[in-house]
Amino acid sequence: MAKKESTLGNMLISLAVITMVSGGVLGFFYNMTKPGIDKVEKEKNETAINTVLKTDAVIAKIETDTIDDMIYNVAYDDSGSLIGAAIKASSGKGFSGKIELMVGVLADGTINNISVLTQSETPGLGANMVNEKFKSQYNGKNPATFNLKVKKDGGDVDAITAATISSRAFSEAVENATKGFAANRDSFIKKGGDNE
């Protein structure tokens, strides 16, 4: 068998074949693993919703709605009264990129709890946003009386030491969630009453 001459045409054909085979293999494995990844993501979201909406009230139903790129998981009791919402909010202003939070807001606008869904901040610095010590300073606070900016910017939030940018991004995501909830609260209350 004669050796093929190394020409531009032969190289392009070889590259095209390698690319198609590689793409096919990647696509095959992506399709095989996607259901498992989706299941893990769904369980992670459900756990976060349960964590941030944990109160003495008994949740009878949760309705999901997407408004302005935020996902609202709105909770109602047996009578259709609004308990609150678990809001998936984000900020793209983290030190290392986007952070995603699940913010629990009660019917009166008070922050109940916060769960960090995704973040890629610096370990030992901005990644400390997952620590209860940082997150808990928001719990029980109402944005009407608690300024959701870091103290360096005139707010009430104690920033993570040496991670002001990450703290600002976290606070921005929380503020986006609480403002979104306040803007849509009346429609959430009405939906609860409509579904009795």
42 belongs to a structural domain: no
4 belongs to a structural domain: no
181 belongs to a structural domain: yes
165 belongs to a structural domain: yes
Q: Residue 196 pLDDT > 50, yes or no?
A: no
Tens-digit pLDDT profile for residues 91-132? 999 999 999 999 999 999 999 999 999 898 989 899 999 999
Instruction: Provide the residue range defining the domain that includes 102.
Output: 49-194
Distance between CA atoms of residues 112 and 24, nearest Å: 46
Q: Which alpha helices (H) appear in 53-163, and where do they start and end?
A: 132-135
Distance between CA atoms of residues 114 and 136, nearest Å: 8
How many domains are contained in the chain? 1
Tens-digit pLDDT profile for residues 52-75? 888 888 888 899 999 988 999 999
131 belongs to a structural domain: yes
Among 52, 155, 44, 173, residue whose Cα is nearest residue 110: 52
2 belongs to a structural domain: no
* pLDDT at site 45: 77
171 belongs to a structural domain: yes
Tens-digit pLDDT profile for residues 156-193? 999 998 899 999 999 999 999 999 999 999 999 888 76
Sign of the dihedral defined by the CA atoms of residues 52, 103, 97, 162, in that order: negative
Q: What is the overall mean pLDDT for the chain?
A: 89
Residue 65 buriedness (CB in 10 A; 0-12 / 13-18 / 19+): middle
5 belongs to a structural domain: no
